[in-house]
């Protein structure tokens, strides 16, 4: 009972990272199929996976195609209730679903100004007022989840959940561009950088190089703030 997971280039595809973490962190059986998001072959690679046109895409063991990370999340949670993808507590689960939905549809300023780039970390990035507003909202949401349901663990709802998978690329953005967040939020970012699954994903992405490099910025470079593997 193995799923096929179609993902884009690991270094840059934030949505692919979310999809992959939902399998890797919860021990669900999967095979990775690479899609050339930055090699220009995505349409060809997804040609047999209608209606999908973006990554990630999941194909179930029965052959059903599921597109979009929210649909993948709910399908996996429905098919594997024992895996604990969502928090067990109903109140925690409701909040988790809300902040996941907000990540899915919001934070446009942060996502636009700070593309996920696991190959580079920059110094002297000057966030706009809109990016700062997104960071303030993140501080609020993360603090709310942690205070209400975080317990003693490092994750938003104590145990790792879909919410953490969705915010992992945000943590990478904060780390890569040295964005200003509260000490509590920085500790959450650091938890992602130290997570073995995240480190594995980044290390595998670094085995491939690009010319020209996507999302390169004319800013001073600094060492990546987390370990590669």
1/47 Cα distance (integer angstroms): 24
- CATH architecture assignment, domain 90-203: Up-down Bundle (1.20)
What's residue 19's pLDDT? 98
Q: In the CATH scheme, what is the code of domain 3-83? A: 3.40.30.10
Q: CA-to-CA distance for 134 and 108, rounded, in angstroms?
A: 8
Is residue 166 a contact partner of residue 104, using CB atoms and an 8 Å limit?
A: yes
149: Cα separation from own chain's centroid = 21
Residues 36-60 pLDDT 10s: 999 999 999 999 999 999 999 999 9
Domain ranges of the chain: 3-83, 90-203
The pLDDT > 90 percentage for the chain reads: 97
Nearest one of 109, 126, 119, 107 to 176, comparing CA atoms: 119
Q: Which of 216, 167, 179, 191 is nearest to 11 (CA)?
A: 216
| H or E segment and range at residue 6 | strand 3-7
pLDDT in tens, 182-219: 999 999 999 999 999 999 999 999 999 999 999 999 99
pLDDT, tens digit, 9 for 90 and up, residues 58-109: 999 999 999 999 999 999 999 999 999 999 999 999 999 999 999 999 999 9
| Cα distances (Å, whole numbers) of residue 199 to 1, 31, 145 | 27, 19, 24
Condensed to tens digits (0 to 9), the pLDDT of residues 129-177 reads: 999 999 999 999 999 999 999 998 999 999 999 999 999 999 999 999 9
26-37 confidence digits (pLDDT tens): 999 999 999 999
Q: Say whether 59 sits in a helix, a strand or coil.
A: strand
């Amino acid at each position: 009972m193995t799923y096929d997971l179609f993902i884009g280039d690991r270094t840059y595809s934030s949505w692919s990272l979310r999809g992959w973490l939902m399998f890797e962190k919860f021990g669900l059986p999967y095979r990775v199929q690479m899609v050339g998001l930055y090699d220009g072959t995505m349409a060809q690679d997804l040609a047999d996976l209608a209606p999908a046109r973006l990554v990630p895409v999941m194909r179930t063991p029965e052959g059903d195609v599921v597109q979009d990370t929210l649909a993948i999340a709910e399908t996996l949670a429905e098919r594997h209730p024992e895996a604990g993808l969502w928090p067990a507590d109903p109140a925690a689960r409701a909040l988790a679903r809300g902040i996941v939905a907000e990540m899915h549809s919001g934070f446009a300023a942060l996502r636009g100004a700070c593309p996920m780039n696991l190959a580079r970390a920059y110094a002297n990035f000057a966030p706009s007022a809109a990016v700062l507003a997104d960071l303030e909202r993140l501080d609020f949401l993360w603090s709310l989840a942690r205070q209400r349901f975080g317990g003693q663990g490092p994750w938003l709802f104590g145990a790792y959940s879909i919410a953490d998978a969705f915010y992992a690329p945000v943590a990478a953005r904060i780390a890569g561009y040295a964005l200003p967040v509260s000490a509590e939020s920085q500790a959450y970012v650091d938890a992602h950088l130290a997570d073995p699954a995240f480190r594995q994903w980044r290390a595998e992405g670094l085995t491939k190089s690009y010319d020209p490099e996507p999302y390169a910025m004319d800013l001073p470079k600094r060492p990546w703030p987390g370990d590669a593997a």
